Amino acid sequence: MNAHNRKHKEGAGYPALLVALCWWGLMPLYYWHLKEVSAPEMLAHRVFWSFAVLSVVIGLRPALRRQMGGWRSFALALLPAVLLSANWVVYILASVTGNALQASLGYFLNPLLSAALGIVFLNERLNGLKAAALALGLAGTVVQCYAHGGVPVFAVMLTVTFSLLGLVRKVWPTKNAIVSTWRETVVMMPFALGYFAFLSSNHALAFTSLGAGAAVLMMLAGPLTVVPLALYAYAMPLVSLTESAVMQYVTPTVTFVLALTVFHERLTTVDLTGYGLIWCGLALATYAKVGRRPVESATAAGQGAGASAQNVSFLAAHKKTPASAGVNRFWHSEGRPEPERRCEKSDA
């Protein structure tokens, strides 16, 4: 690839990533139109139709078929599949019960909890900025608990499941976003098929009882999952890690605005105070995460030239990346995988 084409492709990475992030942020609109469908059945449809679409994609790409793996790969997919399923169910419930603000809060909190998990389980160091960020996040959570008269259940469950999912991905990293998500849908397929059979035997299957329009919407769960995932997988190898770390907040911001403007959810002064503390914590965490990146990149670049120097730069930075970046970057309820290393060619 010549320099002009490479530059053009890299420039296309940012719009693709932005579209994927906004797409995920707008997903509550989709679930709202299917609010008559129970969350477990909606989960089953998402698993089934995502599996179908992903199977077609993998079937058409020999490079992806070679990465499908054996029984060990599917065994390792069991835990992330359970966490992903739990995250999807909670996100669906939050979207259809007027709690989109809590969904947004959950994903704003996620980088902070991921950083805490990295410190506890991955022996990552806690510097002053990280400590301040975690303290602000904790203070914001306490304020939110006061505002809601108790623990904001949806926000906490989304944050916990998503952060644990990121931790699992960190411990057992996957090479390709499309293939790893396909494995997880394969593992979840027995639940989906079994639940369909149970509902059908009790004449309670929404897919056959709500009309053709609703059935088509349910089938769209597959493309609505796979298309942004493909955009994400395409964009991440082309996007700067520093900028991608900042862009991760696009999705919960879109959901936040959606909750206020479309769903007309109520945001009190106390709520806003809690959000303000969390946003300040995120700003500190982001600064702590990306502040050293230019220095590390410059150091690595001095060790070589051309593409090899870029690969060394990325690997050096990746090893020092805090959990709030490595575990959580772009991971959210929509099943987003950890970004692939820039030195590896994306198959998606």
Annotated domain spans of the chain: 9-326
Mean pLDDT of 171-191: 86
pLDDT at 161: 93
191-230 pLDDT, tens digit each:
999 999 999 999 999 999 998 999 999 999 999 988 998 8
Which residues make Cβ contacts (< 8 Å) with residue 85, sequence separation at least 6? 43, 47, 188, 191
Is the per-residue pLDDT at 333 higher than 50? no
* Residue 72 token pair: 């060990």
pLDDT at 138: 86
Mean pLDDT of 262-288: 87
44-63 pLDDT, tens digit each:
999 999 999 999 999 998 88
Is the per-residue pLDDT at 162 higher than 60? yes
85-104 pLDDT, tens digit each:
999 999 999 999 999 999 99
pLDDT confidence band for 283 (50 / 70 / 90): confident
Number of residues in the chain: 348
pLDDT confidence band for 286 (50 / 70 / 90): confident
* Residue 287 token pair: 């600064």
pTM over 0.85: no
CB atoms within 10 A of CB 202: 8
Which residues make Cβ contacts (< 8 Å) with residue 56, sequence separation at least 6? none
Is the per-residue pLDDT at 25 higher than 60? yes
Mean pLDDT of 152-171: 89
Which residues make Cβ contacts (< 8 Å) with residue 22, sequence separation at least 6? 250, 251, 254
Highest mean pLDDT among 11-20, 43-52, 296-305: 43-52
